[in-house]
Structure 1
Amino acid sequence: EASKKGTCTDPYSILKPQEYPLNKNPLIVSSVTNERIAGCVYEEDKTAVVWFWLHQGEAQRCPCCGSNYKLVPHELPH
């Protein structure tokens, strides 16, 4: 949604989130399909990525750290 307003400063989601994504405020992941693989580096000094599937609908938790992610549809410009 921020990209539609022209305020998106991290279009490729490479910057660290500003806060821990809780259930009420999950980290938004966009996708052109109804499922997507997401990765979480659950501790700052870790180098291993935990990969897991996200499905459209309710927010889902990372299996290691419990942070919440929500998959939302992304519309491609025509």
Structure 2
Amino acid sequence: MFRTVIEPRKPRHRALRVVLALFGLALLAAFLVVAVAVGAVMIIGGLGWKLLRRAPRAPSGDRVLDGTYRVVPRPLLSR
């Protein structure tokens, strides 16, 4: 008896099947819209949080070495 309670069965009436299928698709579309909206709010909120909580840049220390670099060709490298 318990098995018959938990097993979902399709209704026999064709119109009811169509209505339930459309209801299921509408419910799926609603979940999709809500998920996309929540995701967009989370992304926008995260970007806003980063912009508002931006820490001021600390001045560079006295021990910073500024220089120019050049790429050494491969044959000049010794192994």
Tell me the TM-score normalised to structure 2 length.
0.14
Structure in which a larger fraction of residues adopt strand? 1
Tell me the TM-score normalised to structure 1 length.
0.14
Structure in which a larger fraction of residues adopt helix? 2
